[in-house]
Amino acid sequence: MKMTFRWYGEDDSVTLENIKQIPNVTGVVSAIYDIPVGEVWPIERIQELKKVIHNAGLELEVIESVPVHEDIKLKRNDYQRYIDNYKETIRNLAKCGIKCICYNFMPVFDWTRSSIDHQLADGSYALVYYKEEVDQLDPTKLSLPGWDASYSVEEVSELIEAYKIQGEEGLWENLQYFIEEILPVASACDVNMAIHPDDPPWSIFGIPRIITNEKNLDRFLNLYDDIHHGLTLCSGSLGCATFNDMPKLIRKYGAMKRIHFAHVRNVKLLADGSFEESAHYSSCGSLDMVELMKAYIETGFEGYIRPDHGRMIWGEKGKPGYGLYDRALGAMYLGGIIDALKGK
């Protein structure tokens, strides 16, 4: 497995020098964040990003992510132009040595939480999802990391209504069209496309979500028969629902060689269906991290892996979920599990 670490570019409070000092991390997962969604990523910009990372002694082989424009998800307006642009971005990334592209098909909002700085019992700060609080939120007035802040209140309201009208089956139809358009390009370029599951894996604010459970993951993979059509399997996103058995999912899709990217983190599940993001250490949450890593090893997974969201600890300030210290501890913990299971 190739241990990687997400980096948000030159403005990230976590520097490449910091990441380089984490012993078992060899690569960075990043993106170009100032190109408008739907526009082509120029080769020159990709090369610039790669050069900065390589000069720090790290690899860039995974992009997380190339966002999918809402027009594609709704199959309206300029959707075909945006799909054609997406194809060209795949080609450009391939020319620069990118092997894997992480993306998602979540309508309007990416990962959703009720708080990004909730203080846990140990004094650390974490992302949490308390159902009662989420139910009281007004989605048109929210701004959380991972959400596109470029939309006005009116635009968000219109998007939410459009997705409600479209429904789950409409979203499935548009995802299938998108996949059938881009996968021939990805396959020809030998780039793995790895969809990220919805986070959390259930409908929020009445908006449909479809990459949520085993049945739907099966349906997704059956949309296109090609090894390049695969998953970013996120234990935190899928694992925050009791209906998802993470070791089982890893073994199933790992055996099929359809896991291209692994996000590994722990979550503490609460009785009412809420959850708190916890330290990676197994006993801090509800997931057995040793069993998860055993499943990856038993299926021969040799792809990219990264510690996912971390808490803010030791007084650190930074992008919620993406500080240095707790994610570095997570990388070392996962690396230790891997070495122990392999008998090193």
The packing angle between helices 325-342 and 289-298, to 10°, is 50
Q: Is 196 a catalytic residue?
A: yes
Q: Is 309 a catalytic residue?
A: yes
Q: State yes or no: is 322 an active-site residue.
A: yes
Q: Which residue in 102, 234, 240, 284 is the catalytic one?
A: 234
Active site residue 100: no
Catalytic, out of 69, 118, 280, 309: 309
Determine which one of 322, 325, 326, 333 is catalytic: 322
Question: Quick check: is 118 catalytic?
Answer: no
Give me the catalytic one of 198, 199, 308, 326: 308
Tally of CB atoms within 10 A around 254: 21
Which is catalytic among the residues 118, 228, 229, 263?
263
Tell me which of 196, 228, 229, 260 is the catalytic residue: 196
Is 54 designated active site?
A: no
What is the set of active-site residues? 196, 234, 263, 308-309, 322
